[in-house]
Amino acid sequence: MSKSTMNPGPITLDVLGLELNTEDQRRILDPLTGGVILFGRNFANRKQLSRLTADIKKLRSDVLISIDHEGGRVQRCKTDGFTHLPAMRKLGDLWMAKNKSNHLAESAAQAMAAATACGYILAAELRACGVDFSFTPVLDLDFGRSGVIGDRSFSRDPQIVFALAKSLNEGLRLAGMANCGKHFPGHGWAEADSHVAIPVDERSLAEILNDDAKPYDWLDLSLAAVMPAHVIYPKVDKLPAGFSNIWLHSVLRQEFGFEGVIFSDDLSMEGASVAGSVVKGAELALNAGCDAVLICNRPDLADQLLSQLKISKSKQKESRERLNKLMPSFPALNWDSLQGETQYQHAKGLLKQFNLLK
């Protein structure tokens, strides 16, 4: 049943539990499937997670196994040896820390080193259990308005967000993992949570480009993937950014020159409901510029997409070429080997030195 050809489709979907059932297997084997995203319900311990990821790869070696694993309150694997990484706000706080013997420049350097360490630990631990990719880092600015973002953000300052995200991305890269900046062009100003509501940001295009979107522009070639926000910016487009040709094509692709993968956010979220049915939403997202669409926590909707979504061969080829670049760049260390690796031990020691580990 294994398919080893590198032909991932545009749909990333989830699985029900700790092991694959027959319906999970059917969906993963569908040619429109290109990725599997894991959640906390899919993790009991390292042995079980490694078995689950291995079973997925036996079915389809070309699917990208992903997870939302950022640190802080968004960390799906929390026990059995996984490092409790700090919320990204802690790195921003370290950047701003000053005392008699520690000038701001030194604090900034320490924060960047800590961000690289976080990225390395995050990626190395996940890859040791067979996970290919994490949807991180958050590039949203912390305006103190959005509860769903909050301490997931590095800072209010786009320059600090840029520097710390670039450092974290370097840590991911050192462990063989790509990155995904989110939620373009910025979810930090809109107060509503797009999981359960439809957030609206009334600011102008110029305001957003000169502030929230700056990290995306500056990161340029170091960004492998981007996930747009389920936020409506009515002064720019009536559609949320993830369905907007203006945001994804005109701004992200053309103005910023971004050539990596664009993932839609979860199409089952309330913020995506303005697009209509899940099939209509996927079509809008893909036509606007997304390469892949996520559908989570709704196997019935995943089945609708798999049976009804139409995508041109040229679009699928273009997206496939981008998606293939997110696969890990070299083999992962197993867990036992990782524990004795000098780079891993140094990274953990650095976070302890800065009081960033519990």
Q: Say whether 230 is catalytic.
A: no
Report the C-alpha gap between 296 and 56 in whole angstroms: 17
Q: Say whether 265 is catalytic.
A: yes
Using the predicted structure, report yes or no on whether residue 310 has a pLDDT greater than 50: yes
Burial class (CB in 10 A: 0-12, 13-18, 19+), 273: middle
Residue 64 belongs to domain with CATH number: 3.20.20.300
Does any domain span residue 6? no
High-pLDDT (> 70) share of the chain, %? 94
Show the tokens assigned to 268. Answer: 């089952």
DSSP string, 129-195: TT--EE---B-----S--TTTGGGSS-S-HHHHHHHHHHHHHHHHHTT----EEEET-SSS--S-TT
Per-residue pLDDT tens for 205-228?
999 999 999 999 999 889 999 999
Does any domain span residue 102? yes
Does any domain span residue 5? no
- Report the mean per-residue pLDDT for the chain: 94
Catalytic residue among 265, 266, 300, 336: 265
Per-residue confidence band for 125, with pLDDT thresholds at 50, 70 and 90: very high
- Minimal CA–CA distance to 98: which of 89, 107, 110? 107
Q: Which residues pair with 293 in a beta bridge?
A: 11
Show the tokens assigned to 218. Answer: 């500056």
Given a contact cutoff of 8 angstroms between Cβ atoms, the answer to whether 68 and 135 are in contact is: yes
Per-residue pLDDT tens for 82-113?
999 999 999 999 999 876 566 778 899 999 99
Pairing of strands 133-134, 74-75: unpaired
Of 15-29, 36-50, 87-101, 297-311, give the lowest mean pLDDT range: 87-101
Given a contact cutoff of 8 angstroms between Cβ atoms, the answer to whether 192 and 200 are in contact is: yes
Using the predicted structure, report yes or no on whether residue 293 has a pLDDT greater than 70: yes
Q: What is the pTM of this model?
A: 0.95
Catalytic residue among 195, 201, 230, 346: 195
* Region 106-127 average pLDDT: 97
- Amino acid present at 113: A
3-state secondary structure of 244: coil
Domain enclosing residue 312, as ranges: 11-353
Does any domain span residue 1? no
**E-strand stretches of 23-132:** 33-38, 64-67, 69-71, 74-75
Does any domain span residue 303? yes
Does any domain span residue 166? yes
CA angle 218, 223, 226 (to 5 degrees): 105
Given a contact cutoff of 8 angstroms between Cβ atoms, the answer to whether 355 and 93 are in contact is: no
Tally of structural domains, the chain: 1
Given a contact cutoff of 8 angstroms between Cβ atoms, the answer to whether 40 and 67 are in contact is: no
Given a contact cutoff of 8 angstroms between Cβ atoms, the answer to whether 85 and 71 are in contact is: yes
Question: What are the residues whose beta carbons fall under 8 Å from the beta carbon of 169, sequence distance 6 or more?
Answer: 119, 137, 179, 219, 222, 223
Does any domain span residue 2? no
Does any domain span residue 358? no
